[in-house]
Amino acid sequence: MTFGGSSGDATTSVDDQVEALQNAIAASSPFCHGCLDVWPHELTLYYGDDENIRRIELSYGRMEEELRRLFDASEPATFKRDSQDVLDETLMKAGKLHIFDFANKFDPTASRMLSLIRGELLESGREEPISAELRELNVYGPGSFSKSYKETQRNEDCFATLVLIYPTKHEGGELVLDRDGEQWVIDIANAISHSAESNNIHYVAFLNDVAHEILPIRSGYRVAVTYELFFTPDPDVTLNAECRTASRGSPPNKKTMEAALQALLRNADSPLNNGGYLGFGLRHRYPFSGLKPWDLDNDLELLQDRLKGCDATILQICEDLELDVSLKAIVKLPEADVIIDYIPSVPEVITREEQKYGSLVPYFIWSDGGRILGEVRQGARYKEKWYMEPVTWITPYTNEANVLKAPRALGGDEVSLHWVPIHICLLAKIRARENGNGPGAIAGDTESQDDMFVK
């Protein structure tokens, strides 16, 4: 996509706009929400006691009479205040079932939901695995509501609350989240009405410092199951694990990120006016296979479908702006960094090219279609067409959370083990403005390897 037009505020420099975009990306959200496709049987709920067990399918077309029986079977809901259960229908009017009074078939731990939530709520500095502990079921009928309050958690390992809302037909019941006076309203009833033909469960997760309120139900019944989220030592899954279809709600900082990116692209003084790339290092940690970086488990197409948090938001914004954006691998060699469209196989022993030229750079250029990123740190100079067009880095690609390391056995009589780091990043292609004189397309690779060097 080529951008033109006004540069915006003439007093705003490119550096200021880059910083604004960096700040927008770094702005963390205290909540996330979305919708996860489920199997029909996962909408089944059992409730009652040993002598009177009932079964209900919590789908959009469920008869209201069955939902009213569920509501009537519940007891008045309470909320926690100073570790005490408080019953006050002026603050909360709803039905409640304790965990020993119901059983739901959907398990957030066995689905992709916890991985989605972790990626949205936690930055790479603290992305250890999480678990969900069932707390209660609430039923909201006509006139039900809950005034704003914060959850009282049982221990410091509990960092957030997860609420699952089943796709039962209702109106009202908007969820209002509040942190330090900043509010967000999530209309689950409206979202359910737009996906009435699908089997799905809507979810909202929010951090402990967020107060939440449920506005009055105008009609129908809202059924929600609440979990507490904990940090846990359980291992993560790999990229090729089951990937259910999920729809993420827009994070609060998406509009700010999009506006900052558009301002940068429209700036008349931007170095991107002559074409080039915007680069984004990944901020979240991903479960790459550690056996060999080029394993099928580390397919970048699989990773692109599993991007989390601001990484996924950046991808979506670039796609919305019709930018050519994709994941790339950057191989860090002593002589230079080489960027490749996929995670390459790194030779475990010295190659013929390496023996001839003293570097693996020519090997990755000819074998994997690589291009040199930035300057050559040592060794021979290469012809211009073997270099990447300029990259403006918004976030650095050297995040150690996602570095893959390929082993190499080097040496003569005494062989030693060396490691080649491989980083993953998002690159968005920016075409030159029509009146610019940016670089043209890369020429065809018709020469011999000797012709890649400057004589």
Q: Are strands 276-281 and 391-395 parallel, antiparallel or unpaired?
A: parallel
Q: Per the structure block, which two tokens stand in for 379?
A: 């060794």
Annotate 294-334 with DSSP letters as a single string.
TSGGG-HHHHHHT--HHHHHHHHHHHHTT-EEEEEEEEE-S
**Domain with residues 31-248, CATH architecture:** Sandwich (2.60)
State pLDDT tens for residues 154-208. Answer: 556 688 899 999 999 999 999 999 988 889 999 999 999 888 777 899 999 998 8
Which regions of 44-149 does DSSP assign to beta strands (E)?
Answer: 44-49, 52-57, 75-76, 79-81, 84-86, 92-93, 95-98, 102-104, 130-140, 145-149
Q: Identify the sign of the CA torsion 83, 85, 88, 91.
A: positive
Task: Please state the domain extents for the chain.
Answer: 14-26+253-434, 31-248
CA distance 290 to 422: 12
In this predicted structure, which of 8-17, 308-317, 394-403 has the lowest mean pLDDT? 8-17
DSSP category for residue 59: S
* pLDDT score of 408: 81
* pLDDT score of 239: 53
CA distance 381 to 368: 19
Which ranges of 103-184 would DSSP assign to H, the alpha helix?
A: 113-121
Q: Comparing C-alpha atoms, which of 156, 133, 159, 129 is closest to residue 232?
A: 129
SS3 68: helix
Phi-psi region of 369 (alpha: psi -120 to 50; beta: other; left: phi over 0): left
DSSP category for residue 65: H
CA distance 325 to 365: 21
State pLDDT tens for residues 204-255. Answer: 999 888 999 999 999 999 999 999 998 775 444 555 555 565 666 778 888 8
- Does this model's pTM top 0.75? My answer is no
Residue 225 contacts by C-beta under 8 Å, 6 or more apart in sequence?
104, 134, 136, 137, 138, 163, 164, 166
